[in-house]
C-alpha cells in the first residue's frame, strides 16, 4: 500500500513496499501528502502490472514503463509540458519498443551522439536527462539493476549568449516605451534581477514599501501561482526609487485572477493584465520589448526579457559587489551559476602589487604610456633579469 513521508513543512515523498517488503519511492517531491500518495500509488500499480517479479522485467519495454513512470512524476506542470515534447520527438521513436533489459550504454551513447547532430549541446543534454530519469525510476521499481544511460559523453555546451545592457542603453530603451505601466515592468526587472515568472507572480503583500524590499516567493507558472521560486528558496531583494518611477500604486483590483496552487490570494498582483491576472512574457516581448528595442536602435543586440536579469547582475559585478552576494540576490543555488558574470568584474591588481611590496607601482601612469608609444620596441624588450 502506498504511503507518504514528510521531508519538510511543504515537501512530501511517496512510496510503497514491493513484493519483497523493500521500500520504493516515487521520484521527486510533492507539495502535499495526498499528491505524494497518488504518485506512489500510480508507481506501485504500474510496477506490479508490468513486473511482479524480476524474471518478468525482461519483457517490459521502455514505452510501457514510461506510461507508468510519467503518471507518478513529481515535477512542475511546465516541466511536464516541455519534457513531453522531448519524449514524443526524440526518445519514444528510438526506445519505445526496446525492452529495458536490452538498453545498453553503448546504444545510448550512439543515440545521444546522434542527437547532437540535430540539437544544440544544451538541448541534447536535456533530452538525455529525461531518459536518465526514467531509467533511474525503473531501478527504484526493481525493473533494472543499473542505469545504462549514465556516464554518457556529450560535447560541452558553448558559452551562453547573454546580453548586458549599459546604463545608457537601458535609458534609451525606457525612453522608447510609450506607456508608463510597460516601462515600469522593464525597470523593475533591471532593478531587481527577478525572473519573469517571479515578477509576474509578485503581489503587493510581497512588497515592503517602507524597507524597500520585495520578497520573492509567489511565482506565475503554467497558468497558476505557485508558492515558491526556482530552487524552492524564498529570497529578499532590495529595490530602489529609480526602478519604481513609473510604477503606479495599487488599483481597485484587490485580488489577482490567476489560480493559486496553495491557499487564497491576499492581495492583487503588482504587474497584471487588464483582468487582474498574470502577464504573459511572450505577449509582452512582442507588444513592448521588440518595438522599444527597434525604436531605441538596439534591435541588433537581440536582447530578451531575461537579459534584463543578466544586465542587473552585470551592473552589480562592475560596481564591485561580490559574486556570493549576487548569487543570493539572484536565487542561484550554486555559485558556479553566477560565475558567468565573473569576467565583467573591474580589473585590479593592487593586491598583487602589494605582494611584491611595491604598491606604488600598481599603476603605470600616463608618462610611462607615452614613453612606450614613442620608444622603439627593441628598447623596451631588454631582459629584465641579468646573471649574477
CB 236 within 8 A of CB 173: no
Mean pLDDT confidence for 111-129: 89
- Residue 141 predicted with pLDDT over 70: yes
Residue 228, C-alpha cell as written in the block: 515558491
- Residue 302 predicted with pLDDT over 80: yes
- The span from the CA of 308 to the CA of 167, in Å, is 11
pLDDT of residue 377: 40
Active site residue 195: yes
% of the chain residues with pLDDT over 70 = 81
**How does pLDDT run across 6-37, given as a tens digit for each residue?**
877 667 888 887 666 677 777 667 778 888 78
Among the listed residues 24, 309, 310, 312, the single catalytic one is 309
Contacts of 368 (CB under 8 A, 6+ apart): none
Topology, domain 167-344: hpI Integrase; Chain A (1.10.443)
Residue 256, C-alpha cell as written in the block: 489577482
pLDDT of residue 48: 62
- Residue 77 predicted with pLDDT over 50: yes
Residue 231, C-alpha cell as written in the block: 530552487
Better pLDDT: 385 or 363? 363
- The span from the CA of 204 to the CA of 265, in Å, is 11
- The span from the CA of 113 to the CA of 125, in Å, is 10
- Residue 78 predicted with pLDDT over 60: yes
Residue 157, C-alpha cell as written in the block: 555546451
- The span from the CA of 166 to the CA of 112, in Å, is 40
Sheet holding 11-17, edge to edge: 3-8, 11-17, 23-25
Active site residue 341: yes
- The span from the CA of 201 to the CA of 186, in Å, is 15
Among the listed residues 13, 73, 195, 310, the single catalytic one is 195
Domain range summary for the chain, segments of one domain joined by +: 3-140, 167-344, 350-380
pLDDT of residue 228: 82
Angle between helices 167-175 and 180-192 (to 10 degrees): 160
The whole-model pTM stands at: 0.62
pLDDT of residue 378: 43
- Residue 370 predicted with pLDDT over 60: no
Active site residue 230: yes
- Residue 384 predicted with pLDDT over 70: no
CATH architecture entry for 3-140: Orthogonal Bundle (1.10)
- The span from the CA of 122 to the CA of 136, in Å, is 21
Amino acid at each position: 500500500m502506498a504511503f507518504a513521508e514528510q521531508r519538510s513543512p511543504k515537501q512530501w515523498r511517496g512510496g510503497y513496499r514491493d513484493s519483497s517488503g523493500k521500500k520504493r519511492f516515487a521520484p521527486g517531491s510533492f507539495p502535499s501528502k495526498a499528491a505524494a500518495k497518488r504518485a506512489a500509488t500510480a508507481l506501485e500499480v504500474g510496477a506490479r502490472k508490468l513486473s511482479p517479479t524480476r524474471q518478468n522485467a525482461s519483457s517490459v519495454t521502455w514505452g510501457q514503463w514510461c506510461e507508468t513512470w510519467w503518471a507518478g512524476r513529481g515535477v512542475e506542470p511546465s516541466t511536464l509540458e516541455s519534457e513531453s515534447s522531448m519524449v514524443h520527438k526524440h526518445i519514444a521513436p528510438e526506445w519505445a519498443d526496446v525492452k529495458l533489459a536490452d538498453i545498453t550504454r553503448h546504444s545510448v551513447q550512439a543515440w545521444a551522439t546522434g542527437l547532437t547532430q540535430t540539437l544544440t549541446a544544451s538541448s541534447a543534454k536535456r533530452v538525455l536527462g529525461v531518459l536518465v530519469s526514467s531509467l533511474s525510476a525503473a531501478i527504484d521499481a526493481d525493473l533494472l539493476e543499473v542505469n545504462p544511460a549514465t556516464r554518457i559523453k556529450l560535447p560541452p555546451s558553448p558559452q551562453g549568449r547573454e546580453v548586458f545592457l549599459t546604463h545608457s542603453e537601458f535609458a534609451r530603451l525606457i525612453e522608447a516605451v510609450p506607456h508608463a505601466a510597460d516601462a515600469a515592468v522593464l525597470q523593475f526587472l533591471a532593478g531587481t534581477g527577478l525572473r519573469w515568472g517571479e515578477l509576474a507572480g509578485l503581489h503587493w503583500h510581497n512588497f515592503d514599501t517602507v524597507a524597500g524590499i520585495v520578497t520573492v516567493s509567489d511565482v506565475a507558472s503554467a497558468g497558476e501561482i505557485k508558492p515558491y521560486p526556482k530552487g524552492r528558496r524564498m529570497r529578499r531583494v532590495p529595490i530602489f526609487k529609480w526602478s519604481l518611477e513609473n510604477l503606479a500604486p495599487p488599483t481597485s483590483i484587490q485580488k489577482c485572477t490567476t489560480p493559486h496552487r496553495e491557499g487564497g490570494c491576499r492581495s492583487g498582483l503588482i504587474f497584471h493584465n487588464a483582468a487582474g491576472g498574470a502577464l504573459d512574457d511572450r505577449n509582452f516581448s512582442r507588444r513592448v520589448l521588440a518595438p522599444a528595442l527597434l525604436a531605441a536602435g538596439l534591435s541588433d543586440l537581440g536582447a530578451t526579457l531575461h537579459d534584463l536579469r543578466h544586465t542587473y547582475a552585470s551592473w552589480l559585478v562592475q560596481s564591485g559587489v561580490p559574486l556570493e552576494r549576487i548569487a543570493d540576490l539572484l536565487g542561484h543555488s550554486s555559485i558556479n551559476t553566477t560565475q558567468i558574470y565573473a569576467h565583467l568584474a573591474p580589473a585590479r591588481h593592487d593586491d598583487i602589487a602589494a605582494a611584491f611590496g611595491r604598491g606604488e607601482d600598481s599603476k603605470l601612469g600616463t608618462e610611462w604610456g607615452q614613453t612606450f608609444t614613442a620608444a622603439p620596441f627593441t628598447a623596451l624588450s631588454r631582459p629584465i633579469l641579468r646573471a649574477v
